[in-house]
Chains A and B, each alone.
Chain A
Amino acid sequence: MSLLSVRDLTVKFASRDGAMAALNGISFDLARGERLGIVGESGAGKSITGFALMNLLSKPGFIDGGEILFEGEDVTQMSPKQVRDMRGNRMAMIFQDPMVTLNPVLTIGQQMVETLRAHRNLSFEEARQIALVKLKEVYIPSPDERLDQYPHELSGGMRQRIIIAMALLLDPKLIIADEPTTALDVTIQADIMELLLEMCQSNQVGLILITHDLGVVSQVTERTMVMYAGRIIETGATRSIINDPQHPYTQGLINALPQQTPPGQRLKQIPGAMPTLSAMPTGCPFHTRCAHVTDECKRTAPEVSQFGDTAVACHEVHRLQRDLPKEVAQ
């Protein structure tokens, strides 16, 4: 049984003009200890997916349908108490900006101890000892002192390390990391990613890494899922997604990487911008920006089809794959 199994998850945002879909029935699985990257532009629905898994969508967002089976239980059907018992305990989350994630008026120790005591019957002293051990595991120097410090006394990198330690406090089965290094200094980003990878590997924790940094994805994850306008358009082994992208959007993303362009030349960008929720085009949502657009793309949204170890939602790819054997035969 997979650790996480998402089926037809739809998330909508209530607005004056009716509910608008931010996630259009996405489905994916995650095995125990597996590391999955979710990539895509801002607004593709990556973070919404992460928060939906935690049942932590902020209003006016809400889950409109589908199921999220986590260790066999449907998160969307859980009572508030059950959700609370799951959060931070079996499924933990690492937020984007460590500068605003920690409560400024509570010490690091208070924030770690309360997490432990929310889920386990521990005394303050016992909880503090566990917190201390976890801080040591993420290589925090003089952890005893840190426990009594306030967030503002620590650097951004240090805070994100502490947040990683907090995510590991209760030995969760899954960690959702929402752009954990975006807000950090470039020199620290690699350290934090390495730490996250090491922690997931040594503790056998599944990881969903939400990011727009393809370099990070290839460094950390085994599988990658590319999202566009609230849909999954391509999934597969990270290696094949990076080296042999099928979907024109994924190709565009890879081509846009600065390494793909010789110094001095303009970076190759994907023309146009992602459609907004209220102005979603018919058919394939990417057709307005796609170089291979056909009439079919404008009419119907492509299904996800499996080709080798990647699954792609694109008419053009489907056609190529259909025609390829014939060409080879000729």
Chain B
Amino acid sequence: MFAYLVKRVFQAIAVMLAISLIAFAIQGNLGDPLRELVGQSVSEEVRQKLRDDLGLNDPFAVQYLRFLGNALQGDLGTSYFFKEPALDVILKKLPATLELVFGATVIIIGLSIPLGVFTAIWPNSILTRIILSLSIVGLSIPVFLTAILMIFFFSVELGWMPSFGRGEIVHVFGYWETNFATKDGWAHIIMPSIALSSIMLPMFIRLIRAEMIDVLQSEYIRYAQAKGIAPWRIYFVHALKNTLLPVITVGGVQIGTMVAYTILTETVFSWPGMGAMFLEAVNRVDTPLIVAYLIVVGFIFVLTNTIVDLIYGLVNPTINLARMGA
């Protein structure tokens, strides 16, 4: 187990190095940072001096290593726009994004498992056809359109739901801000969460359904029937566990992907998270913030994947984590 953990951590470090290299390489191609820093009215001489001071004239490798050294100390550069450490800017926005992803994840897990199982067990039911048709619709409409449609109907036309922002948030554990403490906070997070889950949810329903149908045809299910086991137990004990094993691995990747999807959702709902912030940073060519965002998202991605792999190893009895380290 420990050996496996160490191995995974090394893999994670390798991936992070690759991400940092790519993110840093982008930096040099995003226009002249001097223009953002000092504007156009400064003379060429001063610009050159500033370039030297900022180390922008050093070779790429030197710049990259300096960037890495700083990054290891938690310094991902300073945002041009906010004039603050980029990491601090992102961390301030992080709770909003993570709560949104959390909300969407709860919706996905809470609905995809029952609906996936239902559509697998009763493939010919009318309800199954409705669910599957809706899932195609959900899959094909882009997130931003779903979000705009929801705002149009539920906020503008019906006036049931707030259309933007986080609403009333409460500080917990000192730094974290949560939506889940007040009624207003709940009202604000519902629509963005649904919008964010609108692509993944249908995908997971279909994934679980396909897996379940596969599992239900396997010999051990027939054997369980031959033993006289009750149907509910066959479905939820024998089949579901085998169904969810492959789904877990896919799910881990998708949680990471969802963090990236927040860019659209947050922008439409003016959600003050790091997705909307990233888009603003791109508009302002706030290079250090862009790079820092890429690295933080990459880190979240690697972290969730590693955790999911560990969980998979613990849930699946045929995987022996202790042996996999060897």
A-side residues, CB < 8 A to B, are 54, 56, 58, 84-89, 92-93, 95, 97, 100-107, 114-115, 118-119, 150, 152, 166
Within the assembled complex, what's the spacing in Å between the Cα atoms of A155 and B17? Answer: 44
Number of interface residues of B (CB under 8 A): 21
Task: Report B-chain residues with C-beta under 8 Å of the C-beta of A107.
Answer: 317
A106 & B237 in contact (Cβ 8 Å cutoff): yes
Within the assembled complex, what's the spacing in Å between the Cα atoms of A84 and B228? Answer: 4
Task: Report A-chain residues with C-beta under 8 Å of the C-beta of B227.
Answer: 87-88, 92, 114-115, 118, 166
B228 & A102 in contact (Cβ 8 Å cutoff): no
Question: Per a CB cutoff under 8 Å, which of B223, B225, B226, B233 touches A102?
Answer: B223
Q: Which residue of A lies closest to B219 (CB)?
A: A100
B-side residues, CB < 8 A to A, are 218-220, 222-230, 233, 237-238, 241-242, 245, 316-318
Task: Report A-chain residues with C-beta under 8 Å of the C-beta of B238.
Answer: 103, 106
- With A84-B230, A100-B220: A105-B225 Cβ-Cβ less than 8 Å: no
B226 & A88 in contact (Cβ 8 Å cutoff): yes
Question: Per a CB cutoff under 8 Å, which of A97, A100, A119 touches B228?
Answer: A119
B219 & A97 in contact (Cβ 8 Å cutoff): yes
Within the assembled complex, what's the spacing in Å between the Cα atoms of A58 and B223? Answer: 12
Question: A-B pairs with the 7 shortest C-beta distances?
Answer: A88-B227, A88-B228, A87-B228, A100-B219, A150-B317, A93-B226, A103-B220
Task: Report A-chain residues with C-beta under 8 Å of the C-beta of B218.
Answer: 100
Within the assembled complex, what's the spacing in Å between the Cα atoms of A87 and B234? Answer: 14
Within the assembled complex, what's the spacing in Å between the Cα atoms of A89 and B228? Answer: 7
6 residue pairs from A and B, CB less than 8 Å apart: A87-B226, A92-B227, A103-B220, A103-B224, A104-B318, A115-B229
- With A114-B233, A150-B317, A150-B318: A56-B220 Cβ-Cβ less than 8 Å: no
Smallest CB–CB gap between B115 and chain A, Å?
A: 22
Task: Report B-chain residues with C-beta under 8 Å of the C-beta of A85.
Answer: 228
Within the assembled complex, what's the spacing in Å between the Cα atoms of A160 and B245? Answer: 26
Known: A89-B228, A93-B223, A106-B237. 6 other contacts (CB 8 A): A56-B222, A86-B228, A87-B225, A101-B223, A103-B224, A104-B242
B242 & A103 in contact (Cβ 8 Å cutoff): yes
Within the assembled complex, what's the spacing in Å between the Cα atoms of A56 and B229? Answer: 13
Within the assembled complex, what's the spacing in Å between the Cα atoms of A114 and B220? Answer: 14
Q: Which residue of A lies closest to B221 (CB)?
A: A103
Task: Report A-chain residues with C-beta under 8 Å of the C-beta of B316.
Answer: 105
Within the assembled complex, what's the spacing in Å between the Cα atoms of A54 and B220? Answer: 16
Task: Report B-chain residues with C-beta under 8 Å of the C-beta of A115.
Answer: 227-229
Task: Report B-chain residues with C-beta under 8 Å of the C-beta of A58.
Answer: 222
- With A100-B219, A103-B224, A106-B237: A114-B229 Cβ-Cβ less than 8 Å: yes
Task: Report B-chain residues with C-beta under 8 Å of the C-beta of A104.
Answer: 220, 242, 317-318
A95 & B223 in contact (Cβ 8 Å cutoff): yes
B226 & A54 in contact (Cβ 8 Å cutoff): yes
Smallest CB–CB gap between A95 and chain B, Å?
A: 6
Most buried by A among B224, B233, B237: B224
Smallest CB–CB gap between A76 and chain B, Å?
A: 17
Smallest CB–CB gap between B211 and chain A, Å?
A: 13
Within the assembled complex, what's the spacing in Å between the Cα atoms of A102 and B229? Answer: 13
Smallest CB–CB gap between A73 and chain B, Å?
A: 15
Within the assembled complex, what's the spacing in Å between the Cα atoms of A152 and B318? Answer: 7
Task: Report A-chain residues with C-beta under 8 Å of the C-beta of B230.
Answer: 84, 118
Task: Report B-chain residues with C-beta under 8 Å of the C-beta of A93.
Answer: 223, 226
A118 & B220 in contact (Cβ 8 Å cutoff): no
Smallest CB–CB gap between B323 and chain A, Å?
A: 12
Q: Which residue of A lies closest to B218 (CB)?
A: A100
Task: Report B-chain residues with C-beta under 8 Å of the C-beta of A106.
Answer: 237-238, 241
Task: Report B-chain residues with C-beta under 8 Å of the C-beta of A101.
Answer: 219-220, 223
Smallest CB–CB gap between B321 and chain A, Å?
A: 14
Within the assembled complex, what's the spacing in Å between the Cα atoms of A89 and B225? Answer: 12
Task: Report B-chain residues with C-beta under 8 Å of the C-beta of A88.
Answer: 226-229
Smallest CB–CB gap between B216 and chain A, Å?
A: 10
Q: Which residue of B lies closest to A81 (CB)?
A: B230
Task: Report A-chain residues with C-beta under 8 Å of the C-beta of B229.
Answer: 84, 88, 114-115, 118
Q: Which residue of A lies closest to B224 (CB)?
A: A103
Task: Report A-chain residues with C-beta under 8 Å of the C-beta of B237.
Answer: 106, 114
Task: Report A-chain residues with C-beta under 8 Å of the C-beta of B224.
Answer: 103
Within the assembled complex, what's the spacing in Å between the Cα atoms of A84 and B227? Answer: 8
Task: Report B-chain residues with C-beta under 8 Å of the C-beta of A150.
Answer: 317-318
Smallest CB–CB gap between B237 and chain A, Å?
A: 7
Task: Report B-chain residues with C-beta under 8 Å of the C-beta of A89.
Answer: 228
Q: Which residue of B lies closest to A115 (CB)?
A: B227
Smallest CB–CB gap between A145 and chain B, Å?
A: 15
Task: Report A-chain residues with C-beta under 8 Å of the C-beta of B317.
Answer: 104-105, 107, 150, 152
Q: Which residue of A lies closest to B317 (CB)?
A: A150
Smallest CB–CB gap between B200 and chain A, Å?
A: 25
Smallest CB–CB gap between A47 and chain B, Å?
A: 12
Within the assembled complex, what's the spacing in Å between the Cα atoms of A84 and B219? Answer: 17
A92 & B226 in contact (Cβ 8 Å cutoff): yes
Smallest CB–CB gap between B197 and chain A, Å?
A: 28
